[in-house]
Chains A and B, each alone.
Chain A
Amino acid sequence: MSSATLSEDGTTIAPRARRWHIAVFLLPAFIVYTAVMILPLIETLRLSLFNTVDGHSTFVGFSNFGVLFGDARWAHDFWNALKNNTIFFAIHMLIQNPLGIALAAMLSIPNLRLAPFYRTAIFLPTLLSFVIVGFIWKLILSPIWGITPFFMDLVGLKSFFSPWLGKPGSALIAVSLISVWQNVGIPMMLIYAALLNIPDEVIEAAECDGITGWSQFWKIKLPLILPAIGMVSILTFVGNFNAFDLVYTVQGALAGPDGATDILGTLLYRTFFGFQLQLGDRSMGATIATVMFLIILAGVSLYLFIIQRRIRRYQF
């Protein structure tokens, strides 16, 4: 820096070196990200404004959206998928995340025996392919070969068993719980890390003030891990509204029975790529993808601009 500063008499100014290396280092990531993320996104948004009229791709404005929300059948499919997706998300928020917090809190108890084992065991399903998870659970819950009816029979609860994946009333809940089983390791790990980050001094100070046990968790630890919980919630939101894979492997592309497990991802898949005799409809598919994008964008914005600003952070 000193060489580039003004000399005493102001005659020579050494030119500030252009820092090309910054651009050079950024370029690969920029190109890859643009090519595989931004361009497809823009292309999808553009495609949702076009449709095939008389064999030619024509600009149709928002009329694809008009069909999606205005046509009784499209609207029915869309709202059904959105409703199911919301239930799917609610089950994750109500079961997966509290369970993750509880597991993390238990794991962080000092002197817990076998803690590394539990941590690994609970996190393991997250590493499995969704195809394996879907297949395993289909077998576990199978009324014919599954071990669930067998074990329930052992404890005399056989009468409570039913083919959950095949009934319209229970299929969505069953699929959601499979997803919770698979993914509960992620909130657990994130919150576990946040809990470990709480300095011992804070805990000791609380103990000096007589706050121990449950009230210590509610009054000291929970407020300190709130930012992590907020993070987990928004990840769950984005993940759930983009979900597709597990439903597809467990229930198929038609997301049966009677569309009971149809979420936005499977609706998009069927519309865009087609299924069996149904031919793919790229324009309507892009329209659904755009709506999904807007839903996720709205949710994330809501979180970033309203909730995250109000979460109090503590500096130690």
Chain B
Amino acid sequence: MTRTTLKGLLLATSILGSAGLAHAEDVTLTIDSWRNDDLSIWQEKLIPAFEAKNPGIKVKFAPTAPTEYDAATDAKLAAGTAGDLITCRPFDKSLALYTRGDLAGLNDLSGMENFSDVAKAAWTTDDGKTAFCVPMASVIHGFIYNKDAFDKLGIAIPATEADFFAALDKIKADGTYIPLAMGTKDLWEAATMGYQNIGPTYWKGEEGRAALIKGEQKLTDAAWVEPYKVLAKWKDYLGDGFEAQTYPDSQNLFTLGRAAIYPAGSWEIGLFNSQADFKMGAFPPPVKNAGDTCYISDHNDIGVGLNAKSAHAEEAKKLLSWIASPEFAEIYANALPGFFSLNSTPVKMADPLAQEFVSWREKCKPTIRSTYQILSRGTPNLENETWVESANVINGTDTPEAAAEKLQKGLDSWYKPAK
């Protein structure tokens, strides 16, 4: 089946290619992507906006099924039939394409200055010198809360760790709501919504993450163990039987109004808006002491790169520069609340919850998930181990120290930091 799809795609691109030649005045650019869901946004909003400003360039958005995207892209790049623009997965998969020469370096692209180094980190070579994809969207971690519940119990938005636990105690004492909607059954909730959500506050975001990659810090250092200690305290505030509570269970508990606080990723916003019939708000991970700098996980998810063998590199660069512009950011972020533009220019969004999430960028320092860059290349895989150990810490199977030690030992077994 995959092969016929592939053949169809190859055929389609070759016909399109020749069609482009026939009308020399109109250049057609093809964007390869796995974002099926975005097709209508591109066709109805983004492409018309770009074409109106750039006469003579036609754009075609050609999504593949997410599971087939990587294999199809590899095959098409090898056959020379890939689109002019390639949507980039974060980190190693795109890095491999760049090292092989399939993606062009984009350091000199106008518009790249609109992005911070953190935003570009997912599509930059290990030495940090060359960027090869324009960052398109990211997801931000934080906590979504039930505003009605907070108003009823008279709880203010917690700013510090102590406030946070005081609020949890109050919700628990009242008994109407489950304080925190999270389970450990699916493991990744504990790691992604737990550890990677609150962790940056303790390891100081990028500073700690970079030091970990350089080998200057270890996962057994206090800064990396402390989030686990905090996470271990969450246990008392989770619902009954949280050990067997799955991710959809947590979502439903919150949207049905049975839980007060949901440790979240911004991608939930769309779903929650349509399902919850109470008012919602959001707050960033609480800091340790009042007045501390806050850190948020602003994780890069989607980028766009330039096919190094594109026949219309100049036109494609124009499109990339436009994708890097605030104009694109505004259209895209509003069409998909919860997937935020990585552009440094703040984007005004109509959705209040999404606007709340993105407003943290102005006061907090962003970082990405600590395990994603470089550190998950070997066996045992640090990301997977973090899932298991985060769940263990919350379940009480492992102490925070034991969990950190296991993770560091696993990392040490294959990772040698570059000197």
Contact indicator A143/B397 (Cβ below 8 Å): no
Query: B residues within 8 A CB of A141?
Result: 244
Main secondary structure of the interface of A (DSSP, over half): loop
Q: Tell me if B243 is interfacial: C-beta within 8 Å of chain A.
A: yes
Query: Once bound together, how far apart are the Cα atoms of A162 and B240, in whole Å?
Result: 9
Query: A residues within 8 A CB of B146?
Result: none
| A166 in complex: contacting residue of B92, B243, B398, CB < 8 Å | B243
Query: Once bound together, how far apart are the Cα atoms of A278 and B379, in whole Å?
Result: 8
| B383 in complex: contacting residue of A71, A162, A277, CB < 8 Å | A277
Nearest CB of chain B from residue A177's CB, rounded to whole Å: 15
Instruction: Report which residue of B371, B372, B395, B398 has the largest number of chain A beta carbons within 10 angstroms of its beta carbon.
Output: B395
Query: B residues within 8 A CB of A275?
Result: 381, 384
Contact indicator B241/A166 (Cβ below 8 Å): yes
The residue on A at minimum CB distance from B246 is: A138
Q: Tell me if A144 is interfacial: C-beta within 8 Å of chain B.
A: yes
From A10-18, A23-31, A116-124, A250-258, give the one contacting chain B.
A250-258
Which B180-210 residues have a C-beta within 8 angstroms of A? 183-188
Nearest CB of chain A from residue B68's CB, rounded to whole Å: 15
Q: Tell me if B387 is interfacial: C-beta within 8 Å of chain A.
A: yes
Contact indicator A163/B397 (Cβ below 8 Å): no
The residue on A at minimum CB distance from B376 is: A277
Q: Tell me if B410 is interfacial: C-beta within 8 Å of chain A.
A: yes
Contact indicator A278/B383 (Cβ below 8 Å): yes
Query: Once bound together, how far apart are the Cα atoms of A145 and B7, in whole Å?
Result: 46
Q: Which interface class (under 10, 10 to 19, 20 to 34, 35 or more) fits A?
A: 20 to 34
| A258 in complex: contacting residue of B376, B377, B397, CB < 8 Å | B397
Query: Once bound together, how far apart are the Cα atoms of A59 and B217, in whole Å?
Result: 38
| B380 in complex: contacting residue of A73, A143, A162, CB < 8 Å | A73
Query: A residues within 8 A CB of B391?
Result: 256-258
The residue on A at minimum CB distance from B250 is: A144
Query: A residues within 8 A CB of B398?
Result: 258
Q: Tell me if A259 is interfacial: C-beta within 8 Å of chain B.
A: yes
Q: Mark A83-105, 1 if CB is under 8 A from B, else 0.
A: 00000000000000000000000
Q: Which interface class (under 10, 10 to 19, 20 to 34, 35 or more) fits B?
A: 35 or more
Q: Mark A239-257, 1 if CB is under 8 A from B, else 0.
A: 0000000000000101011
Query: A residues within 8 A CB of B185?
Result: 163, 165-166, 256-257
Q: Tell me if B415 is interfacial: C-beta within 8 Å of chain A.
A: no
Please count the residue pairs between chain A and chain B whose beta carbons lie under 8 angstroms apart in the complex.
104
The residue on A at minimum CB distance from B406 is: A73
Nearest CB of chain A from residue B79's CB, rounded to whole Å: 22
| A143 in complex: contacting residue of B92, B244, B376, CB < 8 Å | B244
Query: B residues within 8 A CB of A165?
Result: 185, 243-244
Given contacts A144-B249, A278-B383, A278-B384, contact A73 B243 (CB under 8 A): no
Query: Once bound together, how far apart are the Cα atoms of A144 and B251, in whole Å?
Result: 12
Q: Tell me if B239 is interfacial: C-beta within 8 Å of chain A.
A: yes
Contact indicator B241/A144 (Cβ below 8 Å): yes
Q: Tell me if A159 is interfacial: C-beta within 8 Å of chain B.
A: no
Which A125-167 residues have a C-beta within 8 angstroms of B? 138, 141-145, 149, 162-167
Besides A142-B244, A167-B244, A256-B186, 18 other CB < 8 A contacts? A71-B413, A73-B410, A73-B413, A141-B244, A143-B239, A163-B185, A163-B241, A166-B183, A166-B242, A166-B243, A252-B186, A256-B185, A256-B387, A256-B391, A257-B243, A277-B91, A277-B384, A278-B376
**B residues adjacent to A (C-beta < 8 A):** 91-92, 183-188, 239-246, 249, 253, 371-372, 376-377, 379-381, 383-384, 387-388, 391-392, 395, 397-398, 410, 413
* Pairs across A and B, CB under 8 Å, 9 listed: A143-B242, A144-B249, A167-B244, A256-B186, A256-B387, A258-B392, A258-B397, A259-B388, A278-B384
